[in-house]
Amino acid sequence: MSLCIRNGNIIDGEGIVFHNKDILIKNNLIVDINTNLAHKADRIIDASNLWVLPGLIDAHCHLREPGFEYKEDISSGTASAAAGGFTSIACMPNTLPAIDNAAMVEYIKKKAATQGIVRVYPIGAITLGREGKTMVEMGEMKEAGAVALSDDGDPVVDPNTMRLALEYAKQFGLLLISHCEDKSLVAQGVMNEGYMSTLLGLKGISRAAEEVMVARDIILSEITACPIHIAHVSTKGAVDIIRQAKSRGVPVTCETAPHYFSATDEWVEGYDTNTKVNPPLRTEEDLVAIKEGLKDGTIDIIATDHAPHHRDEKEVEYDMAASGISGFETAFSLSYTHLVETGILSLEELVAKLSSIPAKILGIPGGVLKAGLPADITIVDINREYEVDRDHFYSKGKNTPFHGKRLKGKIAYTIVGGKIVYDEEDAK
Ligand SMILES: [Zn+2]
């Protein structure tokens, strides 16, 4: 079976943009990028007026399997990822049991190979059971296929454990991803601490809860010269700390998630529990700083932090509701609408933050369209406006504060290894 993507505008992920060219795919691989290739293919996708991108790569998501299949599983999660344009995703280990040993890493990989429709890269835990005490067997987990380590969902509370983890992880060539949250500063907080939390009578979470831990982990990264990746950056202060660290050469990288540049704590008014997320939605000032950080490169990548939950876990009082946003299926559109349409990033810069840079940070293939490489491709219609409808999500998690919002830029096709895994025409 051969496939030709005809007459598209192609971003190759290495700095070249081709206009009105064809991509020919055979045996799962890209074999040529040129003009007039359509006659060589069995099937043709007409990409006129569309953009053809290296498959999007998500460095941070939650597939919930095993243990929480009522929220999401590998089958529904990867279908959701495909609908969001993602061809490769890295899933966090806060499952039950946690992904904290080689057998669990292999289990996820095997399940993903048989039931998943996009490439799944497991992230292993840093400590057994994500309890922050005993380090995992890093070497065995690396060998089994873990691409990074994180206790995401919880911080590694003990600084010395974090320091040792950084040193061990470096020896094994594993990236450490830090969920920066000082639980004692969070206390009983459920939303950002400030004017809105006072107005709404909800307990606030100080920005300091995030920033104290970002500062700690950067200091540990600096003294050990070990790389660290900071997950879901949400505050102006955290962006400033990371910017300063990068300027003095600390090996730190970081991500933000689309909701931190698309929504603020004002959205909590009305107590919609779909606005509850950890770290919480911040203020306009933070949102502006996140956009500046994306623009000047302080924030390396955009990750979804796709965190699906069951309806029952959100249809409760705000204080009691689970934290998280079902993020795969709105990530590209939110990013395009709020970053590219507003002139903060070019489309090429956005694609780098959603594809080639996450590939580099995780050390996985992808992010480039070139003859000889696997055909992992995302095709988008940047002119298409639509209304977000969570009832059409492929994810089991319908928890999004963006339901009913009008966004621009829609995924048309997602192709993994030459196989069309999402076609908007057939979408539900
Ligand atoms: Zn986290």
Closest C-alpha among 148, 144, 123, 116 to residue 416: 116
pTM: 0.98
Question: What pLDDT score was predicted for residue 354?
Answer: 98
Structure tokens belonging to residue 59: 């460095």
Structure tokens belonging to residue 87: 């061809």
Alpha carbons 247 and 81: distance in angstroms, whole number = 34
H or E element, residue 395:
none
Alpha carbons 404 and 381: distance in angstroms, whole number = 19
Which residue segments constitute the domains of the chain, with CATH numbers given?
A: 2-52+373-382+402-426 (2.30.40.10), 55-362 (3.20.20.140)
Closest C-alpha among 380, 382, 403 to residue 340: 382
Alpha carbons 123 and 362: distance in angstroms, whole number = 10
Distance from the alpha carbon of residue 186 to the mean position of ligand 1, in angstroms: 14
Distance from the alpha carbon of residue 374 to the mean position of ligand 1, in angstroms: 31
Q: Following DSSP, what letter does each residue of 285-323 receive, concatenated?
A: HHHHHHHHHHHHTSS-EE---B----HHHHSS-TTTSPP
Angle ∠(38,43,46) on CA atoms, nearest 5: 65
Question: What pLDDT score was predicted for residue 31?
Answer: 98
Contact by Cβ (8 Å): 101, 141: yes
Distance from the alpha carbon of residue 128 to the mean position of ligand 1, in angstroms: 17
Question: What pLDDT score was predicted for residue 402?
Answer: 98
Distance from the alpha carbon of residue 154 to the mean position of ligand 1, in angstroms: 7
Question: What pLDDT score was predicted for residue 426?
Answer: 86
Name the pairing type of β-strands 17-26 and 2-11: antiparallel
Q: 135-172 burial, b for 16+ CB within 10 Å, e for fewer? A: bbebeebbebebbbbbbbbbbbbeeebbbbbbebbbee
Distance from the alpha carbon of residue 277 to the mean position of ligand 1, in angstroms: 10
In the chain, the N- to C-terminal Cα span, in Å, equals 26
How many helices (H) and strands (E) would you count in the chain? 14, 18
3-state secondary structure of 404: coil
Contact by Cβ (8 Å): 350, 51: no
| 43 backbone dihedrals φ, ψ, rounded to 5° | -130, 145
Alpha carbons 428 and 424: distance in angstroms, whole number = 8
Question: What pLDDT score was predicted for residue 428?
Answer: 57
Distance from the alpha carbon of residue 179 to the mean position of ligand 1, in angstroms: 5
Closest C-alpha among 387, 384, 274, 268 to residue 327: 274
Question: What pLDDT score was predicted for residue 405?
Answer: 98
Full pLDDT tens readout for the chain, 428 residues = 899 999 999 999 999 999 999 999 999 999 999 999 999 999 999 999 999 999 999 999 999 999 999 999 999 999 999 999 999 999 999 999 999 999 999 999 999 999 999 999 999 999 999 999 999 999 999 999 999 999 999 999 999 999 999 999 999 999 999 999 999 999 999 999 999 999 999 999 999 999 999 999 999 999 999 999 999 999 999 999 999 999 999 999 999 999 999 999 999 999 999 999 999 999 999 999 999 999 999 999 999 999 999 999 999 999 999 999 999 999 999 999 999 999 999 999 999 999 999 999 999 999 999 999 999 999 999 999 999 999 999 999 999 999 999 999 999 999 999 999 999 998 75
The distance from CA 401 to its chain's CA centroid, rounded to whole angstroms, is 17
- Give the residues across from 156 on adjacent strands: none
Structure tokens belonging to residue 361: 């940070």
Rounded to a whole number, what is the largest CA-CA distance in the chain?
65
- 389 among known catalytic residues: no
Catalytic residue of the set 305, 381, 391, 426? 305
Alpha carbons 184 and 187: distance in angstroms, whole number = 5
Within 10 angstroms of residue 408's Cβ, the number of other Cβ atoms is 17
Distance from the alpha carbon of residue 249 to the mean position of ligand 1, in angstroms: 25
Distance from the alpha carbon of residue 14 to the mean position of ligand 1, in angstroms: 30
Where does residue 413 fall: left (phi above 0), alpha (psi -120 to 50 degrees), or beta otherwise? Answer: beta
